[in-house]
């Protein structure tokens, strides 16, 4: 049975979709059109020394807005799923913590880039390469908490009936693969397969749009009573 989504539910779920769209579009604008995953130190130094174009500045701000939107989605998701009780309650906590760690690592990854832009006049191509690689390594590290977020959210969906079993199991599988990808490559920033991570972004986009449009499944009071043991 479907529950009619409230305005708060629509806004909370829409924040998840906004997160995906903003970071994907913002990243494309912010990288200045570069497709090289591991350019030379000279190229990195030139990028640090150059003044960001208008499109790159817009892209950077879109990514920041996307991270803020993800914070709102995580808060809504945790609150909404915890209301269903049972195993879903603590699984939503795991998902929320993993999401916060994802944001922390991702926001921290901006520090080497900002440092390179600030001190570019004193950098050698080798140091510029190191700073750029720190940013790339942090991106791959985010696969671990983000995959855990997907895995825990998928399990919470299965435990609660928040959405259908297809959504739950696909989240579990994609989340597991997202965690395994960097482990298989020993967290190598160049050779790690990014496909599971990208699938995870698309999964969250689809789930967020679905929740904003039609709302979560509504369990009956009888089912909730069965799944949530009474406490003294």
Higher pLDDT, 83 or 230: 83
Q: What tens digit of pLDDT does each residue of 146-201 get?
A: 999 999 999 999 999 999 999 999 999 999 999 999 999 998 888 899 999 999 99
- What is the mean pLDDT of the segment spanning 22-40? 77
Q: What tens digit of pLDDT does each residue of 77-120 get?
A: 999 999 888 999 999 999 999 999 999 999 998 888 888 888 88
Higher pLDDT, 40 or 186: 186
Q: What is the pTM of this model?
A: 0.86
Q: Where are the domains of the chain?
A: 7-227
State percent of the chain over pLDDT 70.
89
Q: DSSP of the chain, one letter per residue?
A: -BPPPPHHHHHHHHHHHHHHHHHHHHHHHHTTT---SS--HHHHHHHHHSPPPHHHHHHHHHHHHHHHHHHHHHHHHHHHHHTT-THHHHHHHHHHHHHHHHHHHHHHTHHHHHHHHHSGGG--HHHHHHHHHHHHHHHHHTHHHHHHHHHHHHHHHHHHTSS-HHHHHHHHHHHHHHHHHHHHTTS-TTTS--HHHHHHHHHHHHHHHHHHHH--B---HHHHHHHS----
């Amino acid at each position: 049975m479907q529950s009619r989504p409230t305005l708060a539910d629509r806004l909370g779920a829409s924040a998840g979709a906004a997160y995906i769209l903003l970071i994907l579009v913002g990243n494309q604008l912010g990288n200045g059109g570069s497709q090289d995953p591991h350019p030379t130190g000279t190229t990195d130094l030139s990028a640090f020394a150059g003044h960001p174009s208008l499109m790159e500045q817009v892209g950077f701000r879109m990514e920041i807005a996307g991270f803020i939107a993800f914070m709102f989605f995580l808060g809504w998701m945790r609150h909404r799923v915890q209301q269903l009780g049972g195993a879903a309650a603590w699984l939503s906590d795991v998902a929320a913590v993993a999401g916060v760690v994802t944001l922390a690592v991702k926001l921290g990854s901006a520090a080497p880039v900002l440092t390179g832009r600030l001190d570019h006049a004193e950098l050698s191509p080798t140091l510029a390469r190191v700073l750029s690689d720190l940013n790339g390594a942090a991106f791959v590290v985010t696969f671990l908490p983000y995959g855990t977020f997907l895995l825990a959210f998928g399990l919470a969906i299965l435990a609660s009936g928040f959405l259908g079993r297809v959504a739950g199991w696909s989240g579990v599988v994609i989340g597991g693969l997202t965690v395994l990808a960097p482990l298989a490559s020993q967290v190598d920033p160049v050779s790690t397969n990014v496909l599971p991570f990208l699938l995870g972004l698309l999964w969250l986009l689809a789930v967020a749009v679905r929740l904003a449009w039609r709302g979560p499944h509504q369990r009956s009071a009888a089912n909730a009573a069965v799944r949530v043991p009474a406490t003294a």
